Amino acid sequence: MKPEKTTLYFKQGKSDKVYKASLEETDSNSFIVNFAYGRRGATLKTGTKTKAPVDYPSAKKIYDKLVKSKTAKGYKPGEEGAEYVHTDTDARETGVQCQLLNFIEEAEVIRFIDDARWWAQEKHDGKRMLILKKESITPINRRGLSTGAPDTIIHGADRVEGAFLVDGEAVGEKLFIFDILEVDNTDLKPAPYSQRMSHLENLGFTESITVVETAKTKKEKRQLFDSLKASEAEGIVFKKHSAPYTAGRPNSGGTQMKFKFYATASVIVTGINVKNSVKIAVIKGKKTRINVGNVTIPPNRTVPAVDSIIEVRYLYAYKGGSLYQPVYLGKRDDIGLSDCMISQLKYKKETE
């Protein structure tokens, strides 16, 4: 009764997907069946087919049925990619809350570049992920729930000595970390960002976990901004180096601000159209849904269900109207309805 694992691939046209299944032993004579799936090279979504451990014959039956169902849909075995590590605490509350940032407009960027009190970093285009290392390693998403992660990230954290809690952005099989909340059971959240960065840079992360480079002087910040804009990066983040780590999102302003080189929005799917597109909306007030048009789902992507939350990129929004040229980026299972407010939209500037 040995653990089993399978990596399957599906490639057809523009579709290039991976599906990983694993039969894992939790303790003596108890087993679970986990899975991870998504686009090849992206940070995969994870789940489990066994909400509680079962005996080996039951787990084996579930595992074989899962693999058979995928191969019947055209998935084929291939070279092993990064494994995904699951824990018994997947999708459970951890008590950890991350700091969330407000947006600034491009006209405000120069003020943060010129102000010596603010540092700057690249905003990576991935999924928020914190890593808690104590007796074991627990990846945590932006909602404070434990989640699965590529084993490259888990092994990268395991190679660093001591206990810690770091904050970062997972892009594929790499984690770009930009803050640290705890080290060796010492709470660093009240400390200035400059001190937290010193602790972070001294931990010695390498390879699959990278500390995001920080621009501190006016010249460095300007060079970083110009470089990121030219390379069509997602954006730039400005951080007040004297500020503590404060969980949640302030009503306005804050000690950490972000600017995106293109607009994105988290929206709710309100309907599925006849063609390969869905109706989308944002929330105004407490729960009123405001229609913002439709977005096409690429033929190689699964059409998201009604009431699911998705991320779209767009040029701008019309006041009282739709998003202009929206592009589907993917589903968001790590955020809630409170992240779909109308206040996130960037509107077309009115001409005189």
Same domain for 127 and 149, yes or no, is yes
Q: Inform me whether the pLDDT recorded for 89 exceeds 50.
A: no
Establish how many alpha carbons lie within 13 A of residue 300's alpha carbon, considering only the half-sphere containing its beta carbon: 13
Same domain for 41 and 126, yes or no, is no
Out of 17, 50, 81, pick the residue that ends a domain.
81
CATH code for the domain in which residue 267 is found: 2.40.50.140
CATH code for the domain in which residue 232 is found: 3.30.470.30
The model's pLDDT over 134-182, given as tens digits with 9 standing for 90+, comes to 988 999 998 888 888 888 899 899 999 999 999 999 988 899 999 999 9
Same domain for 125 and 226, yes or no, is yes
Q: Inform me whether the pLDDT recorded for 350 exceeds 70.
A: no
Using CA atoms, how far apart are residues 130 and 15, in angstroms rounded to an integer?
A: 30
Which of 36, 10, 12 lies closest to 22 in space, CA to CA? 36
pLDDT for position 311:
93
Same domain for 111 and 251, yes or no, is yes
What mean pLDDT comes out for the span 107-113? 95
CA of 200: how far to CAs of 157, 166, 205, 221, in Å? 12, 8, 9, 20
What mean pLDDT comes out for the span 220-239? 93
Out of 204, 225, 260, pick the residue that ends a domain.
260
Using CA atoms, how far apart are residues 315 and 317, in angstroms rounded to an integer?
A: 7
Same domain for 272 and 255, yes or no, is no
Using CA atoms, how far apart are residues 294 and 13, in angstroms rounded to an integer?
A: 24
Q: Is 64 among the domain residues?
A: yes
Q: Is 280 among the domain residues?
A: yes
How many structural domains compose the chain? 3
What mean pLDDT comes out for the span 341-347? 90
Element (H, E) at 85: strand 84-85
pLDDT for position 351:
40
**Residues counted in the chain:** 352
State both tokens at 29.
């004579």
Q: Is 329 among the domain residues?
A: yes
Same domain for 30 and 109, yes or no, is no
Mean pLDDT of the chain: 88
Same domain for 255 and 309, yes or no, is no
Same domain for 134 and 221, yes or no, is yes
Same domain for 238 and 325, yes or no, is no
Same domain for 209 and 337, yes or no, is no
Out of 81, 113, 136, pick the residue that ends a domain.
81
Same domain for 252 and 129, yes or no, is yes
Which of 263, 279, 352 lies closest to 322 in space, CA to CA? 279
Using CA atoms, how far apart are residues 183 and 136, in angstroms rounded to an integer?
A: 14
Query: Residue 213 is part of which domain span?
Result: 102-260
Percent of the chain with pLDDT over 70: 93
Same domain for 254 and 113, yes or no, is yes
pLDDT band at 88 (very low <50, low <70, confident <90, very high): very low
